[in-house]
């Protein structure tokens, strides 16, 4: 059974995008030398933050590829996969194209 999650306020749920295991020169990078990727895909978006009684929608949407800070968000497990839940402010940018 798939777990469905709806984040609250201005939070998003992100699945990390795995980086390539070889460099452009063909060198294979061992698992012990890899950092966790700072790129991910948004899988769920909250309704937005509330200011002065009005809801302000988020600038990102489900399916966007994003960049985020190295220590951004909190790690959670959904259906046996590692995800991050973070605020919109933790997102550095959206990858387009």
Domains with residue ranges and CATH for the chain: 1-17+36-97 (2.30.33.40)
Q: Which two tokens stand for residue 79?
A: 């259906």
pTM of the model: 0.77
Reported as a single tens digit per residue, the pLDDT across 10-67 is: 999 999 887 665 556 667 666 555 566 689 999 999 999 989 989 899 999 999 999 9
| Residue 82 Cα distances to 1, 23, 24, 88, 92, angstroms | 17, 24, 27, 19, 20
Q: In whole angstroms, what is the distance from residue 69 CA to residue 37 CA? A: 10
């Amino acid at each position: 059974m798939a777990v469905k999650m709806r984040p609250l306020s201005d939070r998003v749920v992100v699945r990390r995008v795995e980086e390539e295991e070889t460099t452009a020169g063909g060198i294979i990078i061992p698992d012990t030398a890899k950092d966790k990727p700072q790129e991910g895909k948004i899988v769920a978006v909250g309704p937005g933050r509330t200011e002065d009684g009005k809801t302000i929608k988020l600038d990102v949407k489900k399916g966007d590829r994003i960049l985020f800070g190295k220590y951004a968000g909190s790690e959670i497990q959904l259906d046996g996969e590692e995800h991050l839940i973070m605020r919109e402010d933790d997102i550095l940018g959206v990858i387009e194209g």
